[in-house]
Amino acid sequence: MPHIEVILVDDNDREVGFMEKLAAHKVGARHRAVSVYVFNSRNELLLQRRAARKYHCGGLWSNTCCGHPLPGESTDHAAQRRLEEEMGLTCPVTKRLELSYFLPLPQGLIEHEYGHLYLARCDVEPVLNPDEADACAYRSLEDIRQDLDEHPDDYTPWFKFTFPQVMDFKI
């Protein structure tokens, strides 16, 4: 895995330093993150199944894309960059929510993030980066909600936490 630094933040999202990404997930250091939720014109959410080879949560379904701003990068730019890198999409994104969470992950890792959630509307067919995602699908919100209830272990911990909070947003 390449050496990538994340931005460490306090509980108000003020920058307090930097740390290598895997190290931050090992010790549970709070860091800045972005999550993008892309909806099509039928109001279906584009989900991705994370690549099986990812160092955590590989093979699980999640929101359209997520990632971390690089040092000196805005969250707006990071959200757009990750959407293009992971899904090959360049649609405009709009920040709708900020929230903090502390979630245990498999392999003893911890997702302790101050997250910036973005929404977008796009009907362009994604072009997946195989290093990031194995599959994608547009699904109705009701289908996702039902599947989360029936198969919660098929989804990433942060998606299970954030999905209910974006359900009612209109874009």
Residues catalogued as catalytic: 66, 113
For residue 1, the model assigns a pLDDT of 55
Compute the average pLDDT of residues 106-111.
90
**Average pLDDT score, the chain:** 94
CATH fold, domain 5-164, is Nucleoside Triphosphate Pyrophosphohydrolase (3.90.79)
| Coil/strand/helix, residue 163 | helix
For residue 107, the model assigns a pLDDT of 84
Compute the average pLDDT of residues 45-67.
93
Q: Burial of 77 by CB count in 10 Å (0-12 exposed, 13-18 middle, 19+ buried)?
A: middle
Compute the average pLDDT of residues 143-158.
96
For residue 21, the model assigns a pLDDT of 94
Q: Burial of 147 by CB count in 10 Å (0-12 exposed, 13-18 middle, 19+ buried)?
A: middle
For residue 171, the model assigns a pLDDT of 53
Domain ranges across the chain = 5-164
Judge whether residue 83 has pLDDT over 70. yes
Judge whether residue 127 has pLDDT over 90. yes
The per-residue pLDDT for range 15-48, each reduced to its tens digit, is 999 999 999 999 999 999 999 999 999 999 999 9
